[in-house]
Amino acid sequence: MPLNGGAGWHRACVPLSLSFFLLFGSSVNVAASAETIGYTENSAAALYRAASDGSAGALAMLKQAAQAGRPVAQTWLGVYYGTKSQYRRADFWTHKAALAGNALAEFAYGGAYFYGNGVTRDLSMAAYWYRLSAMQGFMPAKEMLARIHEETPASKTAGGKSSAPIANVPTAIAASSHASHSSMVPSPVSTAAVAPADVAAATMTAAEENRLGYSYFYGKGKTENPALAVQWFEKAAAKGYPAAEDNLGVAYYQGRGVPKSHQKAIYWYRKAAFSGYAEAEVNLGVAYYQGHDGFPGDLALARYWWQKAVDQGSSTARQYLAATGDGKSSP
163, pLDDT greater than 50: no
Q: Which of 86-95, 134-143, 145-154, 250-259 shows the lowest mean pLDDT across its residues?
A: 145-154
Q: Could you report the per-residue pLDDT of 268-287, keeping only the tens digit for each?
A: 998 899 889 999 999 999 98
Asked whether residue 187 carries a pLDDT value surpassing 80, the answer given is no
Confirm if 82 and 90 have CB atoms less than 8 A apart: yes
Fold of 201-323: 1.25.40
Does 201 or 313 have the greater pLDDT score?
313
CA neighbor of 74 nearest in space, from 36, 112, 47: 47
Every domain range in the chain assigned CATH 1.25.40.10:
6-160, 201-323
- The pLDDT mean for the chain works out to 75
pLDDT band at 135 (very low <50, low <70, confident <90, very high): confident
- Domain 6-160: give its CATH architecture: Alpha Horseshoe (1.25)
> pLDDT at position 280, please?
94
Question: Which residues, including other chains, have CB under 8 Å from residue 33's CB and lie 6 or more apart?
Answer: none
Cβ atoms within 10 Å, residue 197? 8
Band of pLDDT at residue 202, cut at 50, 70 and 90: low
Q: Kindly tell me if the per-residue pLDDT of 196 is higher than 90.
A: no
Query: Which band of pLDDT confidence, cut at 50, 70 and 90, is reported for residue 178?
Result: very low
Q: What are phi and psi of 162, to 5 degrees?
A: -70, 145
Q: Tell me the pLDDT band of 244, cut-offs 50, 70 and 90.
A: very high
Contact 247, 189 (CB under 8 A): yes
Choice between 29 and 255, residue whose per-residue pLDDT is larger: 255
CB 78 within 8 A of CB 94: yes
User: What number is the average pLDDT over the span 217-246?
Assistant: 93
Residue 295, classed as helix, strand or coil, is: strand
Using alpha carbons, list the distances in angstroms from residue 29 to 26, 49, 148, 223: 10, 12, 41, 66
DSSP string, 134-178: HHTT-HHHHHHHHHHHHH-TT-B-GGG-B-S-S-SSPPP-S---P
Q: Is residue 186 very low, low, confident or very high in pLDDT (cuts 50, 70, 90)? A: low
